[in-house]
Amino acid sequence: MTAQIFTGAAVFDGTRLMHGASLRIEDGLVTDPGPGEVVQLEGGILAPGFLDLQVNGAGGRMVDGTCTADMLAEMCAIHAGLGATGILPTLITDTSEATARVIEAGIEAGRRQTPGFLGLHLEGPHLDPRRKGAHDPALIRPMTGADLACLLDAAARLPSLMVTLAPESTTPEQIARLSGAGVIVSLGHTDCTHAQATAAIAAGATCVTHLFNAMSQLGNREPGLVGAALTQPVHAGLIADGIHVSPEAIRIAMAASGRLFVVSDAMAAAGSDATEFPLNGRRILRRDGRLTLEDGTLAGADLTLPQAVSILIRLGTPWETALAMATSRPATCLGRQNQLGHLLPGRQADMVHLGLDGSLGGVWQSGRPLLKLRRPVNCDLAGAFR
């Protein structure tokens, strides 16, 4: 492939936002400066492809027991067109049989080296039914020895595996086994105390799932999981849509922790015009930027990562921080910061071009352009870029 030199936009390399810089791409990788065909961009920002560690579906389909490797590839392609060039397809609480089928589909997707497939995120079923959210309480259960063995085997065969669990439904010993096998253990859908959360973190948990949502809150005498997430050395996903977490709470969390990253928590509606879709036999309604069960319970989010970054900017977040929350920080959470989330020599040339109005002007995977953007983002960021 002919080397290309991208110029005309500020370049965010995963840490720094550099004006007047250019970026050289050859054979799908970022390289040191040298000759090449010039690609002139019309201003804006060239950044690493966004990484989304919580994606429940796309294109009218959910990640569920019917998933195949082909379906996972289609979801990856849809989300790449929305700016997330790497995703963790996420299975919410389901049966053991459905979980096993999704794991096998993920293993096959990994074997095929499916573009954009980073691994799997299993959100449940080992949760606390008191904090079930949109999960089916009939399917929530404690982790058994057979469950642990299944997860350990999956971790050995997937590119990455994240598991959301509640300390109440597991033991510190199980968390330690998972962590020792390379699983990213994330705490979520839990009513645990601060002490229980701290014990789970000491055992090996390194992340918190959708901060503030479906978890014990920060109180003056009992800090809960929120308190642990904001004070312990763990990463935390944030649904920055202004709905799941208020703007004020986002600002407080941002001031307290430098380990937050954004997630879309996208559902089947992503990349489609669907106004409703099924989830475990229940209707999910899409109205006014929200996804809810018929009783009004939030059920995932109607959000893309470029939109999340746009919202953070409007809340006063510096560009470098907002962009890192969609790139280098999730890469670090996965332990894959030497491969993903940066535009540095030797790294994969997954990139997004953001216009100054927040529009998604281009997406590349391994240096190859994705020509058809399915839902361009149009958020008003005029004047916010400095």
pLDDT in tens, 19-31: 999 999 999 999 9
Checking if the pLDDT of 386 tops 70, the result is: no
Q: Which residues belong to the active site?
A: 265
Helix (H, G, I), strand (E, B) or coil at 50: strand
**33 and 62 belong to one structural domain:** no
pLDDT in tens, 219-249: 999 999 999 999 999 999 999 999 999 999 9
Q: How confident is the model at residue 258 (pLDDT cuts 50, 70, 90)?
A: very high
> What pLDDT, on the 0 to 100 scale, is given for residue 357?
65
**195 and 112 belong to one structural domain:** yes
Q: What is the pTM of this model?
A: 0.94
- CATH number of the domain encompassing residue 33: 2.30.40.10
> What pLDDT, on the 0 to 100 scale, is given for residue 42?
87
- CATH number of the domain encompassing residue 110: 3.20.20.140
90 falls within a domain? yes
Q: What is the average pLDDT across 106-125?
A: 98
Using CA atoms, how far apart are residues 294 and 236, in angstroms rounded to an integer?
28
**89 and 141 belong to one structural domain:** yes
Using CA atoms, how far apart are residues 353 and 364, in angstroms rounded to an integer?
9
What H or E segment, with its residue span, contains residue 174? helix 172-180
**34 and 55 belong to one structural domain:** no
Range of the domain at 17: 4-47+343-369
Indicate the number of domains in the chain. 2
**64 and 85 belong to one structural domain:** yes
Checking if the pLDDT of 375 tops 80, the result is: no
pLDDT in tens, 282-330: 898 999 889 999 989 988 889 999 999 999 999 999 999 999 999 999 9
Using CA atoms, how far apart are residues 358 and 86, in angstroms rounded to an integer?
20
Whether 70 and 114 have beta carbons less than 8 Å apart is answered as no
**36 and 69 belong to one structural domain:** no
Q: How confident is the model at residue 371 (pLDDT cuts 50, 70, 90)?
A: low
